[in-house]
Chain A
Amino acid sequence: MADLIKLTAAEIAAKIASGELTAVEVTEAHLARIEAVDEKVHAFLHIDREGALAQARAVDEKKARGEKLGPLAGVPLALKDIFTTEGVPTTVGSKILEGWLPPYDATLTKKLKAADVIILGKTNMDEFAMGSSTENSAYGPTGNPWDLTKIPGGSGGGSSAALASFQAPLAIGTDTGGSIRQPAAVTGTVGVKPTYGGVSRYGMVAFSSSLDQGGPCARTVLDAALLHEAIAGHDPLDSTSIDAPVPPVVEAARNGSVEGMRVGVVKQFRGEGYQAGVIQRFDESVALLKELGAEIVELDCPSFDLALSAYYLIAPSECSSNLARFDAMRYGLRVGDDGTKSAEDVTALTREAGFGPEVKRRIMLGTYALSSGYYDAYYGSAQKVRTLITRDFEKAFEQVDVIVSPTTPTTAFPIGERTDDPMAMYLADVCTIPTNLAGNAAMSLPCGLAPEDGLPVGLQIIAPAMKDDRLYKVGAAVEAAFTERWGHPLLEEAPAL
Chain B
Amino acid sequence: MTVTDLVSYEDALAAYDPVMGLEVHVELGTKTKMFCGCSTELKQDANSQTCPTCLGLPGSLPVVNATGVESAIKIGLALNCTIAEWCRFARKNYFYPDMPKNFQTSQYDEPIAFDGYLDVQLEDGEVFRVEIERAHMEEDTGKSTHVGGATGRIHGARHSLLDYNRAGIPLIEIVTKPIEGAGERAPEVAKAYVAELRELIKALGVSEARMEMGQMRCDVNLSLRPNGTQKFGTRSETKNVNSLRSVERAARFEIQRHAAVLSSGGTIIQETRHFHEEDGSTTSGRVKEEAEDYRYFPEPDLVPVAPSREWVEELRATLPELPRLRRNRLREEWGISEHDMQSILNAGAVDLITATVDAGADSAAARKWWMGELARRANEDGVELAALAITPEQVARIAALVAEGSLNDKLARQTFEGVLAGEGDPDTVVEKRGLKVVSDEGALGTAVDEAIAANAAIADKIRGGKVAAAGALVGAVMKATRGQADAARVRELILEKLGVEG
A residues contacting B by CB (< 8 A) are 83-84, 90, 92, 97, 100, 102-104, 106, 201-206, 208-210, 236-240, 317-318, 320-321, 324-327, 329-331, 339, 343-344, 347, 367, 370-372, 375, 379
- Please give the distance in Å from B86's CB to the nearest CB on chain A: 16
Q: Which residues on A sit within 8 Å (CB–CB) of B101?
A: 324-325
Known A104-B57, A325-B56, A325-B101; 6 more pairs at CB < 8 Å: A100-B58, A201-B61, A325-B58, A327-B95, A370-B296, A375-B297
Residue of A nearest to B303 (CB): A239
* B303 close to A321 (CB less than 8 A): no
Known: A325-B56, A325-B102, A329-B97. A240 touches B63 (CB 8 A): no
Interface residue from B60, B63, B160, B162 paired with A236 (Cβ < 8 Å): B63
Q: A204 and B102 in contact (CB under 8 A), knowing A209-B300, A324-B95, A329-B97?
A: no
**Contact between chains at A102 and B61 (CB < 8 Å):** no
In the bound complex, how far is the Cα of B100 from the Cα of A324, in angstroms?
A: 9
Which residues does chain B contribute within 8 Å of A106, judged by CB atoms?
59
Tell me if B231 counts as interface (CB < 8 A to partner A).
Answer: no
User: Which one of B55, B63, B97 contacts A237 once the chains associate, using CB atoms below 8 Å?
Assistant: B63
**A97 and B58 within 8 A (CB):** yes
A237 x B61 contact (CB < 8 A)? yes
**Once the chains bind, are A327 and B97 in contact (CB under 8 Å)?**
yes
Interface residues of B in 56-75 (CB under 8 A from A): 56-64
Query: Taking each of B52, B58, B162, B293, which has the highest tally of chain A beta carbons within 10 Å of its own beta carbon?
Result: B58
Given contacts A103-B52, A240-B303, A324-B103, contact A84 B93 (CB under 8 A): no
Distance in angstroms between the alpha carbons of A205 and B60 in the assembled complex: 7
- The yes or no answer to B440 lying at the interface (CB within 8 A) is no
A239-B64, A343-B160 known; A372+B293 contact, CB < 8 A: yes
CA distance A103 to B63 in the complex (A): 19
| A residues near B258, Cβ cutoff 8 Å | none
Find out whether the CB atom of A204 lies under 8 angstroms from the CB atom of B59. yes
B300–A318 touching, CB < 8 Å = yes
Q: Closest Cβ of chain A: how far from B418's Cβ, in Å? A: 49
Assembly CA distance A92 to B57 (angstroms): 13
Q: What is the chain B residue whose CB lies nearest that of A318?
A: B300
Partner of A239, one of B52, B97, B301: B301
Q: How many residues of B contact A (CB 8 A)?
A: 30
Give chain B nearest CB distance to A94 CB in angstroms: 10
Question: In the complex, A163 Cα to B384 Cα: how many Å?
Answer: 67
A202 touches B100 (CB 8 A): no
Point out the residues of chain B lying under 8 angstroms from A330, CB to CB: 55-57, 100, 162
Determine which of A238, A326, A370 lies in contact with B61 in the assembled complex, contact meaning CB atoms within 8 Å: A238
Binding site for A on B (CB under 8 A): 52, 55-64, 91, 93, 95, 97, 100-103, 158, 160, 162, 293, 295-297, 300-303
B58 close to A92 (CB less than 8 A): yes
Q: Closest CB of chain B to A80's CB: distance in Å? A: 12
- Complex alpha-carbon distance, A239 and B160, angstroms: 34
Asked, given contacts A104-B52, A321-B93, whether A84 binds B59 with beta carbons under 8 Å apart, the answer is yes
Given contacts A324-B95, A327-B102, A372-B293, contact A202 B303 (CB under 8 A): no
Nearest-Cβ distance from residue B75 to partner chain A, whole angstroms? 23
Known: A210-B300, A379-B297. A344 touches B59 (CB 8 A): no
Measured between beta carbons, the chain B residues less than 8 angstroms from A206 are 58-59, 301
When the two chains form their complex, are residues A317 and B297 in contact, meaning their CB atoms are under 8 A apart? yes
Asked whether B91 lies within 8 Å of A321 as measured between CB atoms, the reply is yes
Residue numbers in B under 8 Å from A204 (CB-CB): 59
- Interface centre among A318, A321, A371, by most chain B C-beta atoms within 10 angstroms, is A321
Q: Contact: B102 with A202, CB < 8 Å?
A: no
Flag if A239 contacts B61 (CB, 8 Å): yes
B162's partner among A205, A329, A372 (CB-CB below 8 A) is A329
* Closest CB in chain A relative to B350 CB, distance in Å: 40
Contacts of A331 in B (CB 8 A): 57-58
Instruction: Considering the complex, give the chain B residue whose CB is closest to the CB of A241.
Output: B61
Residue of B nearest to A328 (CB): B97
| Complexed CA–CA distance, A326 and B59 (Å) | 12
Q: Return A196 CB to nearest CB of chain B, in Å.
A: 11
Q: A202 to chain B: which residues have CB within 8 Å?
A: 59-61
Looking at the assembled complex, report how far the CB atom of A82 sits from the nearest CB atom of chain B, in whole angstroms.
Answer: 8
In Å, the complex CA distance between A375 and B63 comes to: 26
* Residue in A205, A339, A372 whose CB lies within 8 Å of B58: A205
Q: Which residue of B lies closest to A108 (CB)?
A: B59
The interface centre, meaning the residue of B57, B63, B295 with most chain A CB atoms within 10 A of its CB, is B295
| Residue on B nearest A344 in the bound complex, by CB | B95
Give A90 to B55 CA distance when docked, in angstroms. 17
A206 vs B52: C-alpha distance when bound (angstroms): 13
Q: In whole angstroms, what is the CA distance A404 to B120 when docked? A: 65
Q: Could you say which residues of chain A place their CB within 8 Å of the CB of B64? A: 239
In order of increasing CB-CB distance, the 3 nearest A-B pairs are: A324-B102, A370-B295, A209-B300
Q: Which of B57, B100, B295, B303 contacts A102 (CB 8 A)?
A: B57
* Contact of A321 with B59 at beta-carbon distance under 8 Å, contacts A239-B303, A329-B162 already known: no
CB-CB under 8 A from B103, the residues of chain A are 321, 324
Assess the B301–A240 pair: CB atoms within 8 A. yes
State whether B62 touches A84 (Cβ < 8 A): no
Closest A residue by C-beta to B36: A237
A193 to B102, CA, bound (A): 30
Query: In the docked arrangement, what's the CA distance between A326 and B95, Å?
Result: 10
Q: CA of A321 to CA of B91 in the docked complex: distance in angstroms?
A: 8
- On chain B, the residues within 8 Å of A321 by CB distance are 91, 93, 103, 295, 297
Q: In the complex, how many angstroms separate the beta carbon of B337 from the nearest chain A beta carbon?
A: 52
Chain A neighbourhood of B295, CB < 8 A: 320-321, 367, 370-372, 375
On chain A, the residues within 8 Å of B95 by CB distance are 324, 327, 344, 347
Cβ of A281 to closest chain B Cβ, rounded Å: 36
7 A-B pairs in the complex with CB atoms less than 8 angstroms apart: A103-B57, A204-B59, A206-B59, A208-B300, A240-B303, A321-B103, A324-B103
Cα distance A344–B95 when bound, in Å? 8
Of all chain A residues, the one with the shortest Cβ separation from B56 is A325
Contacts of A367 in B (CB 8 A): 295
Residues in A neighbouring B52, C-beta threshold 8 A: 84, 103-104, 203
Nearest A residue (CB) for B53? A237
Residue in B56, B64, B162, B301 with the greatest tally of chain A CB atoms within 10 Å: B301
Asked whether, in the complex, the Cβ of A343 is within 8 Å of the Cβ of B97, the reply is yes
Query: How far apart sit A204 and B303, CA to CA, in the bound complex (Å)?
Result: 18
**Cα(A83)–Cα(B60), bound, Å:** 10
Q: How far is the CB of A140 from chain B (nearest CB, A)?
A: 21
Q: Which residues of A contact B162 (CB under 8 A)?
A: 329-330
Q: With CB as the reference atom, state the residue of chain A lying closest to B102.
A: A324
Contact present for B102 and A239 (CB under 8 Å): no
Q: Is the CB of A370 within 8 A of B58?
A: no
Given the complex of chains A and B, what is the CA–CA distance between A443 and B27 in angstroms?
47
Complex Cα gap A102–B59 (Å): 10
Q: Please, which residues of chain A bring their CB within 8 A of the CB of B97?
A: 327, 329, 343
- Chain B residues contacting A327 (CB-CB under 8 Å) are 95, 97, 102
